[in-house]
Amino acid sequence: MPTDTFTWRTQKSAQGTDTVRTLQAQFGDGYKQVAASGINAKAETWNLSWTGKKSEASAIRQFLLSHVISSFWWTTPWGERLLWRVKSDSVSVSFPAGDKATLSFTFEQAFAP
């Protein structure tokens, strides 16, 4: 089964965060040992939003909710095409006016399809 791709254009105000998980041991003489925690110690998250017609928002919302536990491809603002999952409980919607809807959601980097 092929891996889906998130193709919708998000708003330009995307905010990304890099997290590096480490193991640390602090010694009494001030020396500290630091090592990466696992083979995928560096991971990104992106807080994103999309605004458009309610009919298209419905399709995007379905995509987002179906990819909380299964990964998909998405290209970051840096131009890197990586695997992602939607962070659980991060999808929210507002209806600013008329036929418009705004979706807000968070992508977490995934390391396997």
Each residue of 14-48: pLDDT tens digit? 999 999 999 999 999 999 999 999 899 999 999 99
pLDDT band at 104 (very low <50, low <70, confident <90, very high): very high
Kindly tell me if the per-residue pLDDT of 84 is higher than 90.
yes
pLDDT exceeding 90 applies to what percent of the chain? Answer: 88
Q: Is 85 left (phi over 0), alpha (psi -120 to 50) or beta?
A: beta
Q: Are 113 and 83 in contact (CB under 8 A)?
A: yes
Q: Which of 110, 70, 107 is nearest to 87 (CA)?
A: 107
pLDDT at 97 over 90: no
